[in-house]
Amino acid sequence: MPSTRSLLAALALAALAPAQAQATPPAIQAIRDNYAAVNAQIAAGQYRKSVVEGRACGDFYETRTRWKDGRGVLRRYQTVTDGTTYAGDTRFTTEFWFDAAGRRDFVLMKRRSTPSERAGDYELRVYYNDAGAVIRTLSQPQLPQEEIRTLLTAIDGDWNARSSPISGCGD
């Protein structure tokens, strides 16, 4: 009959097997490391921050924030759109992180709204390779692929609008 110690050891090894099988791929880990480093450098005041604000459309207001490193390379870009709809207050946030070469690395997109609209809230995380292709998407709650494709288009729209003036309703 096996000893209690050997049974516990076997259980511990069995518990480790799924965790090892689900190890984070190196490309994803590098993106996560860059995300943490950029956020730490921003918190330490190592980047130059610039902010542009304006009325986007109707009762929506947009804030665009850029953080550049000492070489002038954009390392983080954020758009926040706040507004009121018939259903209540809503905030859309799209945040971009870039690697040291200025390539898009990671995007976090969120929608948060008043309690009456919580069912429409989401968070989408998008990981990119060095060529700019999407290598992973994670959403909370789990979104259908069609909706993720629509949000990826919205992410590109936020990025493409970064140099345009903030103006109302297509003005």
| pLDDT band (50, 70, 90) for residue 169 | low
What average pLDDT does range 145-165 have in this prediction?
A: 86
Range 33-39 average pLDDT: 97
d(CA 166, CA 171): 9
pLDDT band of 157, cuts 50, 70, 90: confident
Q: Which range among 71-75, 114-118, 164-168 shows the weakest confidence by mean pLDDT? A: 114-118
Residue range 102-119, pLDDT digits in tens: 999 999 999 887 765 556
Euclidean distance between CA atoms 1 and 67, whole angstroms:
63
Angle (nearest 5°) at CA 110 between 108 and 113: 170
Distance between CA atoms of residues 168 and 12, nearest Å: 59
Q: What is the distance between the alpha carbons of residues 67 and 50, in angstroms, rounded to a whole number?
A: 7
Helix, coil or strand: residue 29 = helix
pLDDT at 79 over 70: yes
151 dihedral zone (left: phi>0; alpha: psi -120 to 50; beta): alpha
Specify the pLDDT at position 2: 53
pTM of the predicted model as reported, rounded to 2 decimal places: 0.78
Q: Which residues in 93-107 are b (16+ Cβ under 10 Å) and which e?
A: bbbbbbbeeeebbbb
Q: Residue 56's CB: how many other CB atoms inside 10 A?
A: 20
